[in-house]
Structure 1
């Protein structure tokens, strides 16, 4: 198995080296537009949890538990069509680590279950046969393989890359991949533990037109793209898109039933009101948001009758009226590690307890705030040694600063990077790579005392 993993990763490495990242802002905008134009799709949570009445089952649940005796992916596809959906997205691996495709990376997979059939293949074949597009879901958190906080090893990272490589090479064109269990308060696996930039470039090197999303909408500001090609909102977890002022292409997800995976009470428990689902869908679409509604197959591998009836009713109430309005360009997302995180920070006089450390603590809910008496406030990161970087992202607590300039310290001399006249809350500057021991933002004009939620410094691969 180790030799096979090495071969898969070598193939991915060769692909990456011969497929330089050439995505332009226009390419990003086109991909985002294509995604938002899809408008409405079906999430399908189907995996080991289906058989344990729990979304987070015992990670030692045996593969023998997975036994859908009547599995019929064509039923799923036809149900999606009945609701006028345009695509599906299947949970290839959830947090408990069970793989429902024919993987060579672990024995904990569907081929060692009573089914012994590649569910991912049956799903993609059925959806394409019904003229529906195909997306995949993949969890970084993996409790069975002990890929969890404080236990992550290089072998775990090799497994992640090998599994993603399989999923993106064995099943044809994948429109998008939704990643979960990463950089979330409940997973506590950071983008440094499993390097986001490596995963992002791997995905794009294999399928450049695959939209990559991480379900991280709860953490990052709505006005910027951080670690995702599309802003994502898990509405079932209380994450809500500001429909009246959204400025980013978005995805929102919600289960039709009471939870993501099938439970024994689902056949007799009413699903969500189809009319309310259509109202939600219409409102989200008007805000540049694609809506993905989860429908959970039962232990036979089929949708329950109440879910099928609800999807048909949705299809009667909602018709796809064509492409979404033209999106504004967002530029490429931030995908690199933040070099400023938890480094020594300095600033001009702060407002009470809102000191400089709050602007580089990887928490967008806290801020450094300048004292109102300071006329020319400044904020600074000290790396402690020469560091190379080529991107700075400044996120304010609220839009306020309208003029500022950026500098870096090299060999004891401050040198200019950029001047900004940007009134938006998230201000991103990309420039030619520089080396410096410090980087500083000087605020030239603000309507109120400056308040910086996060000051990010990055060395992006270009």
Structure 2
């Protein structure tokens, strides 16, 4: 069996990845909270609770860097002068951008919401902002890409979340000091954090007032010493359904482990707070890369399963081309993952995690009513998987990925 397989089962299982149903006599145990060693993440009790239902979303990195097709940090990693990089705006004309095509793919992939870059570190804005001329309106395209996507999302009742980079390699008031993901000091700039914050707040106000209902705000690249809770307060006042991540000006609503780099997040049985992991289909860039080295389906599915099975949300990223098309390789990966997710989705839907029912590396357990779902992300080293303390035989054990029956015994 493959690593991405999920078993629906109980008792001692004589096979690898799968899931199974408890007998009616055992339904009381499956709901017994004292046996669950994982922390139950409390809901907000307000409009932000959509986040607990949607779980799996599409992340999109798109901007001027999509034109050369090398890296979303093209300007910084390539040490390209600002005066040269901004010339890419003269070539921004994504005539093939069709937001409904993006959303069609999103839904086929089993995703339930979308998060898109409004402004990445390069400072180029994909909406009709009045705070800087460095935006999509002042290009050959002359259209508000965020507005187009927002309209499509609203018409289809798809939650829209907005990514915004606090770091800005173009704005003269942003204090670029050569720190990680920053340009060296620019002689023509006038660094002034207070003025830059005025600019940032007005941009956030635009995004929160001009595009209908927004369901999330995804900050990135804040300088740690700069905290200002009033900004998130403003977002919550203007967009009460918006969840906010922890990379901005306070702790936000949820944590954001990235690209499986966080080993603690990988190995934990559960999370102490609401979490949304993020990963990209490509190994080298979040934005479009012409010669991208893609992760295998197996790796991505294993990653998705490890987080969804621990009550975390998950964003899987694609980088559209400069023309606005999601590359065929990326699309096919998402579609194949969507087929897998469709077959095993019941193991992530309205379930509880259970850290005590099994103690084996690479194995996670979710449960709902009389069903227990065993998620194997590593092949077992023995002849089977042992659940404890199970003394009553389940009605059946099934490999969800294939629908095949699985043998089991009860000792």
- Indicate whether the TM-score tops 0.5: yes
Of the candidates 104, 114, 136, which is equivalent to residue 110 of structure 1? Answer: 136
Aligned to 1:257: 282
Q: Deviations over 1:69-117 (max 9, x none)?
A: 3112222111111111001111000001000000101000000111111
Describe the shift of the 1:240–1:253 C-alpha distance in structure 2 as closer, same or farther (beyond 3 A).
farther
Separation of aligned partners in 1, 2:50 and 2:157: 16
Q: CA deviation at 1:152?
A: 3.3
Describe the shift of the 1:298–1:160 C-alpha distance in structure 2 as closer, same or farther (beyond 3 A).
same
Aligned to 2:330: 307
1:37-116 superposed matches below 5 A? 37-52=53-68, 53-56=70-73, 57=75, 58=80, 59-60=82-83, 61-62=85-86, 63-116=89-142
- The higher relative CO (CA closer than 8 Å, separation ≥ 6) is in 2
Aligned to 2:364: none
Q: CA deviation at 1:248?
A: 1.4
Q: CA deviation at 1:323?
A: 4.3
Aligned to 2:219: 179
Aligned to 2:403: none
- 5+ residue gaps, structure 2: 1-40, 178-190, 354-411
Give the TM-score normalised by the residue count of structure 1: 0.57
Q: CA deviation at 1:298?
A: 1.0
Separation of aligned partners in 2, 1:90 and 1:255: 13
Of the candidates 208, 214, 219, which is equivalent to residue 168 of structure 1? Answer: 208
Describe the shift of the 1:274–1:127 C-alpha distance in structure 2 as closer, same or farther (beyond 3 A).
farther
Q: How many residues align?
A: 284
Any conservation in 1 of the 2:63–2:322 contact (CA below 8 Å)? no
Any conservation in 1 of the 2:228–2:250 contact (CA below 8 Å)? no
Q: CA deviation at 1:306?
A: 1.2
Separation of aligned partners in 1, 2:269 and 2:192: 41
Q: CA deviation at 1:64?
A: 1.3
Any conservation in 1 of the 2:164–2:220 contact (CA below 8 Å)? yes
Q: CA deviation at 1:202?
A: 1.2
Separation of aligned partners in 2, 1:240 and 1:36: 22
Of the candidates 197, 203, 206, which is equivalent to residue 235 of structure 2? Answer: 203
SS in 2 for 1:262: coil
Moved more, 49-58 or 135-144: 49-58
RMSD: 2.5
Describe the shift of the 1:283–1:170 C-alpha distance in structure 2 as closer, same or farther (beyond 3 A).
same
Describe the shift of the 1:281–1:32 C-alpha distance in structure 2 as closer, same or farther (beyond 3 A).
farther
Any conservation in 2 of the 1:274–1:310 contact (CA below 8 Å)? yes
Aligned to 2:271: 246
Q: CA deviation at 1:299?
A: 1.7
Describe the shift of the 1:296–1:240 C-alpha distance in structure 2 as closer, same or farther (beyond 3 A).
farther
Q: CA deviation at 1:236?
A: 5.8
Describe the shift of the 1:282–1:317 C-alpha distance in structure 2 as closer, same or farther (beyond 3 A).
same
Separation of aligned partners in 2, 1:289 and 1:75: 27
Q: Greater strand share, 1 or 2?
A: 1
Describe the shift of the 1:206–1:130 C-alpha distance in structure 2 as closer, same or farther (beyond 3 A).
closer
Any conservation in 1 of the 2:219–2:246 contact (CA below 8 Å)? yes
Any conservation in 2 of the 1:71–1:302 contact (CA below 8 Å)? yes
Separation of aligned partners in 1, 2:225 and 2:231: 10
Separation of aligned partners in 2, 1:302 and 1:175: 24
SS in 1 for 2:195: helix
Question: Which portions of structure 1, spanning 4 or more consecutive aligned residues, are displaced by more than 4 angstroms?
Answer: 29-33, 236-240, 322-327
Describe the shift of the 1:145–1:324 C-alpha distance in structure 2 as closer, same or farther (beyond 3 A).
farther
Q: Deviations over 1:411-439 (max 9, x none)?
A: xxxxxxxxxxxxxxxxxxxxxxxxxxxxx
Any conservation in 1 of the 2:115–2:162 contact (CA below 8 Å)? yes
Aligned to 2:161: 135
SS in 2 for 1:214: coil
Q: CA deviation at 1:26?
A: 7.7
Describe the shift of the 1:191–1:228 C-alpha distance in structure 2 as closer, same or farther (beyond 3 A).
farther
Of the candidates 165, 179, 196, which is equivalent to residue 156 of structure 1? Answer: 196
Q: CA deviation at 1:272?
A: 2.0
Give the TM-score normalised by the residue count of structure 2: 0.64
- 5+ residue gaps, structure 1: 1-24, 183-188, 217-224, 328-462
Q: Deviations over 1:207-260 (max 9, x none)?
A: 1221111348xxxxxxxx961211111126557514314221100000011220
